[in-house]
Amino acid sequence: MAEDSDLERTEPASQRRLDQAREEGNVPRSRELATLAVLMASVGVVASLGLFMFQGLQKVLHNGLSFDAADVASPAMMGRNLMEAGVDGLILFLPMALAVVVAAVAANVLIAGWVFSPKALEFKFSKLNPITGLGRLFSWTSLMELLKALLKGGLIAGVAGWMIWHQKDAILGLAAEPLEAAMAHFGQITLLTFLAAAAAFGLIVILDVPFQLWHYQHNLRMTKEEVRQESKEMEGDPQIKARIRALQREAARRRMMQAVPKADVVVTNPLHFAVALKYEEKAMSAPQVVAKGSQLVAERIKELARENRVPVVEAPPLARALHRHVEVGDTIPGTLFTAVAQVLAYVYQLNHSLNPTLPENWDVPADLDPANRRNSVEAGA
């Protein structure tokens, strides 16, 4: 059952999967929104430039139907006139073409943002596979698209039919109007009918856009195994990462051990902890911990200290406080200055053969000594 659950796409798409889909040109799209944008752009151009376009077309038609005997006798002249009429017609429809392109691009950018994917332009033989094509043709997605098309067509046709039926008297009355007035009136009726159909189409768009966004996310869902595999690829295999961390710790330990022979003193618990301290009056503002460890590491620090004639001083409270609160490479806190000064004074006297004696009481604040904390907790219990 666990294997079956791993194969089910129940996990939301990761950001990496979404980015890969965008690189391949797979982004959410709404055909209905693009269609509505194109239609509204076309109507806008016709509404604003319709008179200019109509007059231009009249001129093109007039020039195309005006010819003399010389034009008829010269095929080249007829070809030139035809080309001029075609160029003039293209110029007239250029604003509408530009508006349609801008509207189509803007509708897609509105949903998915700007995407340029060379991979989407690559030729793929799988697109020519008839079996794959038939599979897409009879898929649930194609069935849903067919149902959407039928509902869309029925709604728009119903609204347009209702508008025409509602204005039937005005349409029938066009025959009694002068030509120019009838054409203007017919244009108004057509525009109202189209706007009503566009409003119905807008309702479809309002429903389709959220559905397409949901459907896009739904199709990119991942299985639990895919999530784990992606995590490994992005963050690395946990075993490899653990091995790298172990090597890093080993390297840090070697560097720490190399600093022990240069230390001024090693403070011990004596059985559990060992902390190596170094102080250079001109280079350091305070003594510094150059190595520390517990158990076997502490024993190795003490061995290196003895081999290199570094004094080993038993100061249990200080050793416990330094091991708990000070990291390797850090200077000691001000609250431990007095206790460390006691140790350094002892080492100074020892190095100068002054027969020093270890202090009986180390000046370590009680709240810094883990032993005191443990005892207080046990007493409270």
pLDDT digits (tens, 9 = 90+) for 319-357: 888 888 889 888 888 888 888 888 888 888 888 877 777
Alpha carbon distances (Å) from 324 to 263, 269, 333, 342, 367: 19, 12, 12, 19, 11
If 0-12 CB within 10 Å is exposed, 13-18 middle and 19+ buried, where does residue 283 land? exposed
Alpha helices in 236-336 (DSSP H): 238-259, 296-307, 316-325
Going by pLDDT thresholds of 50, 70 and 90, the confidence category of residue 2 is very low
Identity of the highest mean pLDDT range in 23-27, 62-66, 251-255, 358-362? 251-255
> What whole-number distance in Å separates Cα of residue 270 and Cα of residue 268?
4
Question: DSSP letter at 80?
Answer: H
> What whole-number distance in Å separates Cα of residue 34 and Cα of residue 268?
78
> What whole-number distance in Å separates Cα of residue 268 and Cα of residue 106?
74
Q: Nearest-5° angle of CA 202, CA 208, CA 209? A: 95
The pLDDT of residue 277: 92
Going by pLDDT thresholds of 50, 70 and 90, the confidence category of residue 3 is very low
Sign of CA dihedral 336, 338, 264, 330: positive
The pLDDT of residue 209: 86
The helix or strand, by DSSP H or E, that contains position 27, with its residue range, turns out to be: none
Residue 378 has pLDDT above 60, yes or no: no
Percent of the chain with pLDDT over 90: 4
The mean-pLDDT minimum among 78-92, 241-255, 307-321 falls in 78-92
Percent of the chain with pLDDT over 70: 82
The pLDDT of residue 78: 65
The CA-based diameter of the chain, rounded to the nearest angstrom, is 136
pTM for this model (two decimals) = 0.49
The pLDDT of residue 5: 47
CA quadruple 178, 183, 189, 193: dihedral, nearest 10: 160
The pLDDT of residue 275: 92
> What whole-number distance in Å separates Cα of residue 330 and Cα of residue 349?
26
Average the pLDDT over 58-83 and give the result. Answer: 68
The pLDDT of residue 240: 72
Going by pLDDT thresholds of 50, 70 and 90, the confidence category of residue 104 is confident
Question: DSSP letter at 141?
Answer: H
Tokens of 305: 């200290």
> What whole-number distance in Å separates Cα of residue 227 and Cα of residue 6?
10
